[in-house]
Amino acid sequence: MADWTERYRPTSLSELRGNDKAAGKLQEWADTWDDHREAVVLHGSPGVGKTSAAHALANDMGWETMELNASDKRTGDVIEQFAGRAARNATLAGSAAGGGAAGGDTESRQLVILDEADNIHGNYDRGGKSAITKLVKESGQPIVLIANEYYDMSRGLRNACQEIEFRDVGARSIVPVLRDICRREEIEFESDALQRIAERNKGDLRGAVNDLQAIAEGRDAVTLDDVVTGDRDKSMGIFPFLDAVLKEQGAEEALQSAYSVDETPDDLTKWVEDNMLTVYDADEATRAYDFLANADVWLGRVRASQNYSYWRYATDNAAAGVAAARDGEKGGWTRWGRPQFWPSSDKTADEVVRKVAAAEGCSMDIARRRVLPFLEAMTHHCKPKELTIRMAAAYDMDEAEVSFVTGSGESTNKVQGIVEAAQARREEAMEEHAEGAFAGVPTRESDDAGADGGAGGDERDAAAPTAAADDATGSSDATDDGNDADSDDGQSGLGDFV
In a domain, 341, yes or no: no
The pLDDT value given to residue 481: 42
Q: 73 is in which domain, residue-wise?
A: 4-165
Q: Are residues 215 and 266 in the same domain?
A: no
Q: At residue 235, does pLDDT exceed 70?
A: no
Ranges assigned E (strand) in 148-301? 161-165, 188-189, 221-222
In a domain, 437, yes or no: yes
Q: Are residues 351 and 383 in the same domain?
A: yes
pTM above 0.85, yes or no: no
**CA distance linking residue 358 with residue 397, whole number of Å:** 13
In a domain, 107, yes or no: yes
In a domain, 390, yes or no: yes
Of 140, 165, 190, which residue is a domain's last? 165
Q: Are residues 8 and 152 in the same domain?
A: yes
What lies within 8 Å, CB to CB, of 152 at 6+ separation is 118, 119
Q: Are residues 373 and 491 in the same domain?
A: yes
Q: At residue 112, does pLDDT exceed 60?
A: yes
Q: Are residues 28 and 112 in the same domain?
A: yes
Cα angle for residues 152, 158, 162 (degrees, 5° grid): 130
Q: At residue 243, does pLDDT exceed 70?
A: yes
**What total of structural domains would you count in the chain?**
4
The pLDDT value given to residue 79: 63
In a domain, 342, yes or no: no
Q: At residue 457, does pLDDT exceed 90?
A: no
Q: Are residues 39 and 146 in the same domain?
A: yes
Confidence of residue 434 (pLDDT cuts 50, 70, 90): low
Confidence of residue 452 (pLDDT cuts 50, 70, 90): very low
Q: Are residues 377 and 406 in the same domain?
A: yes
Q: Are residues 14 and 147 in the same domain?
A: yes
SS3 assignment, position 164: strand
Q: Are residues 175 and 148 in the same domain?
A: no
Higher pLDDT, 137 or 50: 50
What lies within 8 Å, CB to CB, of 206 at 6+ separation is 5, 46, 47, 48, 49
Mean pLDDT for the chain overall: 77
In a domain, 29, yes or no: yes
In a domain, 331, yes or no: no
Q: Are residues 469 and 408 in the same domain?
A: yes
Of 165, 191, 215, which residue is a domain's last? 165
Task: Kindly report the number of other CB atoms within 10 A of residue 141's CB atom.
Answer: 28
Q: Containing H/E element for 192?
A: helix 191-200
Q: Which CATH number goes with the domain that contains 62?
A: 3.40.50.300
Q: Are residues 261 and 290 in the same domain?
A: yes
Of 257, 289, 324, which residue is a domain's last? 324
Q: Are residues 293 and 372 in the same domain?
A: no
DSSP state string for 75-111: -HHHHHHTHHHHHTTB-TTSPBPP-GGGS--GGG-EE
In a domain, 9, yes or no: yes
Q: At residue 280, does pLDDT exceed 90?
A: yes
Amino acid type, 225: D
End-to-end CA distance of the chain: 52
Averaged pLDDT, 381-395: 90
